[in-house]
Amino acid sequence: MFEHVYKQNDELAKVIKHYSKKDGVYQTAIPSLFFINESHITEPIHVVYKPSFCVIVQGEKEVLLAQERFKYGPADYLVSSVDLPVTGQVIKASSHAPYLALKLEFTPNQILDVLNSCENQVRHRKDPKRALFVSQTEPSLLDAVTRLVRLLDSPEDIPTLAPLFMKEILYKILKSQHGATLEQIAIEGSDNYKIRDVIEHIIHNYDAPLRIQDLAERANMSVSSFHRHFKEVTAMSPIQFQKQLRLQEARLLLLTESSDAGEVAFRVGYESPSQFSREYSRMFGFPPREDIKRIRAQKINA
């Protein structure tokens, strides 16, 4: 088993190196498939994970969701079943053995399509599930991933075969011990489905005032039940979730525009620039101006 997995990882590593000559994230010719290459340990990177399946073939990574840490490497895979603000850091990489990984994004409709093809597979569990999990990679799952990646060498086959291999990958994840997590985001009426709808609403309106009563009504839950379910899925409260979105967007605006911190604070929904500065420093480790200056200096010296 381990020898088989080693050979598959070695093949995947060669393909990822071929299509990602330098450090960075590379979109491939296969829709929703990305390659990641990092030749050094990175700083913590704050991003919003889309629903996705991630496999590391070399190196290690740590992902922080609120206060929960998820560490995984070549023997594991990570799945985010909804959009989640996280902090990720490559913790094992070097120029001789770079961090190599692939990410495959998916949609709830793709999950539902797989479920509709399976008889008696839906568990209909009502209890909410954490939307981020790490699991051991089975050889059969890695086989499907390898067949998908091989399509890059025969691009004429991608339109026909990629959807089939994608469906197989999702099917195998659905059959795993964490399969219920994926099921629930696609099954209308389940707790995770309701929370996913609220998450999408917050993401699209992150800069607007947040009223918990309105969100609870949107989820068709009582306020107390909504709070409990939201935290079970995301590991944070709705206010904390919104705060991370606001601060990530603020950092992006400060990096890409000439706006000052006070103006950006108002644009992302803060009423108090001083509160914005305090929360920004708490999340990123530096006040806004110092943080942006530091990042730009690193890019120049890279």
- Summarised one tens digit per residue, pLDDT across range 123-134 is 555 566 799 999
Per-residue model confidence (pLDDT) at position 1:
57
Cα distances from 101 to residues 73, 85, 140, 149, 155, in angstroms, run 9, 20, 18, 12, 21
Separation CA 289–CA 158 (nearest Å): 46
Per-residue model confidence (pLDDT) at position 95:
94
Identity at 263, one-letter amino acid code: E
Cα distances from 253 to residues 138, 147, 211, 215, in angstroms, run 41, 39, 25, 27
Q: What is the DSSP pairing of strand 45-49 with strand 52-58?
A: unpaired
Per-residue model confidence (pLDDT) at position 21:
87
Separation CA 191–CA 228 (nearest Å): 11
CA-CA-CA-CA torsion sign (169, 170, 176, 178):
positive
* pLDDT tens for each residue of 64-102: 999 999 999 998 999 999 999 999 999 999 999 999 999
The DSSP symbol for 84 reads E
The DSSP H or E segment spanning 41 is none
Paired tokens of 33? 């498939």
Per-residue model confidence (pLDDT) at position 6:
75
Paired tokens of 162? 């990629």
Beta strands in 97-224 (DSSP E): 99-105, 132-136
How much of the chain, in percent, has pLDDT values that exceed 70? 94
Per-residue model confidence (pLDDT) at position 272:
95
Per-residue model confidence (pLDDT) at position 229:
95
Separation CA 177–CA 156 (nearest Å): 35
pTM here is 0.91
Per-residue model confidence (pLDDT) at position 89:
97
User: In angstroms, what is the C-alpha Rg of the chain?
Assistant: 20
Which residues contact residue 142 at a Cβ distance below 8 angstroms, ignoring those fewer than 6 apart?
5, 8, 9, 55
Per-residue model confidence (pLDDT) at position 178:
87
How does the average pLDDT of the chain come out, rounded? 92
Paired tokens of 145? 């991933």
* pLDDT tens for each residue of 228-239: 999 999 999 999
Write 207-216 long-range contacts (CB < 8 A, 24+): 207/246, 207/249, 207/267, 207/268, 207/269, 208/269, 209/269, 210/238, 210/239, 210/242, 212/238
Paired tokens of 23? 């450090």
The DSSP H or E segment spanning 26 is strand 24-27
| Average pLDDT by stretches of 10, the chain with 302 residues | 74 94 95 96 95 96 96 94 97 96 96 83 63 93 96 96 96 91 87 94 96 96 96 96 98 92 96 96 94 85 60
